[in-house]
């Protein structure tokens, strides 16, 4: 919507040297106008009191993240997926950033052209999301296979850029390639995010979604600290943006192989359901005895029969 709104200023005032500033004012005004109401009408929803000896800055890490990490032996496929996704998200996110660096290195796209690129990617993303959803439902294709299709494109993008190391005619060396990239990225980026979260949902113990999706979100955000730094070091040493693509190609390929070979969705789902049932049974026993529940203690108890 914001991209379409931008065109209402970019097109009629294309010759105005301050047109980009006007667009920024419009975009920021749009977000302020629609977002300020949340701060005005949001009702307080206080949670339970903070336990004695705990702090808001550390309780999440101690009682959520660290507690979940200790379950890797009981949920091996869930944690293999998290590790592989960490690498894949690193390669995927950094590849997009590097493509834009290459674009700015060779061409100066105007605000209007970037708006068209964004609209093109948005249309492609919406179309592909509906298309992938229909294909999966119609042919009853498992989530892992659908995710694997998006993974192939994740590998091909840095491979595409690698060609530019040896060729001056291809490999993000032409204007049309950046238009093509936005189409390809749009077609597979939205399904990539959708199926990655669906796979996580299938490997998450029922009833413990907040815990495991918190770790999933952390793995996605934390991955952006590694890839950009490694690629920046490569570029600084070589002086060539395209030299960062081989590292990203290797990273994405390794992550995809782990996902395809090392994650058994059927066994992972069974393990997740069994683990959740074990935790619930332990909590019920502890509540009957008048004690607090604890995941670590539940893991040390005798396993429940599922």
pLDDT band (50, 70, 90) for residue 305: very low
110-136 mean pLDDT: 95
- What is the average per-residue pLDDT within 196-203? 96
CA separation, residue 122 to residues 29, 32, 99, 158, 200 (Å): 21, 22, 18, 21, 25
Per-residue pLDDT at 301: 57
Which pairs with CB-CB distance under 8 Å and at least 24 residues apart come from 11-14? 11/112, 14/112
Mean pLDDT of all residues in 3-20: 93
The whole-number pLDDT of residue 33 equals: 94
Residue 297 confidence (pLDDT):
63
Task: Say what the pLDDT of residue 54 is.
Answer: 85
Higher pLDDT, 77 or 287: 77
What rounded mean pLDDT belongs to the chain? 90
Cα–Cα distances (Å) from 186 to 180, 181, 183, in that order, read: 10, 8, 5
Structure tokens, 128: 């592909």
- Mean pLDDT for the stretch of residues 278-292: 76
- Torsional class of 51: left (φ above 0), alpha (ψ -120 to 50), beta (otherwise): beta
**Rounded average pLDDT over 223-234:** 89
**Is the pLDDT reported for residue 306 higher than 90?**
no
What's the CA gap between 114 and 109, in Å, rounded?
6
d(CA 265, CA 259): 10
Q: Is 264 exposed, middle or buried (0-12, 13-18, 19+ CB in 10 A)?
A: middle
- 167-182: per-residue pLDDT in tens? 999 999 999 999 999 9
* 154-158, 178-182, 188-192, 287-291: range with lowest mean pLDDT: 287-291
Within 13 A of 99's CA, how many CA atoms are on the CB side? Answer: 27
pLDDT value of position 136: 97
Q: Please check whether residue 126 is in contact with residue 263, taking contact to mean a CB–CB distance below 8 angstroms.
A: no
Task: Note if the pTM is more than 0.75.
Answer: yes
CA distances, 255 to each of 74, 79, 152 (Å): 22, 13, 11
Q: Is residue 137 scored above 80 in pLDDT?
A: yes
Report the C-alpha gap between 225 and 104 in whole angstroms: 22
């Amino acid at each position: 919507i914001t991209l379409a709104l931008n065109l209402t200023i970019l097109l009629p005032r294309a010759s105005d040297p301050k047109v980009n500033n006007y667009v920024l004012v419009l975009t920021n005004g749009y977000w302020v106008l629609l977002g300020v109401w949340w701060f005005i009408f949001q009702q307080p929803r206080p949670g339970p009191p903070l336990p004695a000896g705990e702090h808001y800055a550390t309780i999440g890490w101690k009682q959520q993240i660290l507690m979940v990490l200790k379950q890797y032996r009981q949920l091996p496929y869930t944690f293999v997926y998290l590790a592989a996704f960490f690498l894949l998200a690193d390669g995927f996110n950094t590849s997009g950033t590097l493509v834009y660096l290459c674009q700015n290195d060779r061409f100066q796209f105007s605000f209007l052209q970037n708006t068209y690129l964004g609209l093109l990617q948005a249309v492609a993303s919406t179309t592909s999301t509906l298309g992938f959803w229909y294909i999966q439902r119609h042919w009853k294709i498992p989530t892992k296979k659908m995710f694997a299709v998006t993974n192939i494109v994740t590998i091909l993008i840095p491979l595409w850029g690698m060609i530019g190391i040896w060729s001056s005619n291809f490999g993000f060396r032409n204007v049309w390639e950046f238009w093509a990239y936005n189409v390809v990225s749009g077609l597979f980026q939205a399904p990539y995010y959708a199926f990655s979260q669906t796979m996580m949902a299938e490997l998450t113990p029922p009833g413990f979604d907040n815990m495991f999706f918190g770790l999933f979100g952390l793995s996605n955000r934390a991955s952006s600290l590694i890839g950009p730094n490694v690629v920046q070091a490569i570029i600084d040493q070589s002086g060539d943006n395209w030299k960062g693509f081989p590292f990203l190609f290797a990273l994405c390929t390794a992550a995809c192989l782990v996902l395809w070979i090392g994650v058994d969705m059927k066994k992972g789902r069974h393990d997740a359901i069994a683990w959740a049932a074990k935790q619930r049974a332990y909590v019920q026993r502890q509540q009957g005895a008048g004690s607090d529940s604890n995941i670590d203690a539940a893991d040390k108890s005798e396993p429940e029969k599922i």
